[in-house]
Amino acid sequence: MWARDQYPEPYKLRYTQRTPETASGLLLIRGQWTPFVYERATRVIHLGQGDAARDIQINEWGWEQGHSQYILPRSSK
């Protein structure tokens, strides 16, 4: 739902793996395929890789959460 709402038609999402814990694949954003991993338990989308990586917290309806920018830089772990 998040991808559909944020990247209206024609958005493209391709799953490469689905488990009970995660879903991963590629999302077409502005003409570029971007890898993602969605953690079902925490409702966090890990989008991109390297310096461009972002974590997005969503709620049960697929809407982003928090009071900062829409896509947040990935925190150091």
Q: What pLDDT is stored for residue 2 in this prediction?
A: 67
Q: What pLDDT is stored for residue 8 in this prediction?
A: 61
Q: What pLDDT is stored for residue 26 in this prediction?
A: 93
CA–CA distance from 38 to each of 24, 31 (Å)?
6, 21
Q: What pLDDT is stored for residue 7 in this prediction?
A: 61
CB burial of 32-63 (b: ≥16 within 10 Å; e: otherwise) equals eebebebeeeeeebbbbeeeeebbbebeeeee
Q: Could you report the per-residue pLDDT of 17-61, keeping only the tens digit for each? A: 999 999 999 988 878 899 999 999 999 999 998 888 888 888 888
Banded model confidence at residue 10, pLDDT cuts 50, 70, 90? low
Q: Could you state, in order of their start, the residue ranges of all structural domains in the chain?
A: 2-73
Give the tokens for residue 41: 């338990």
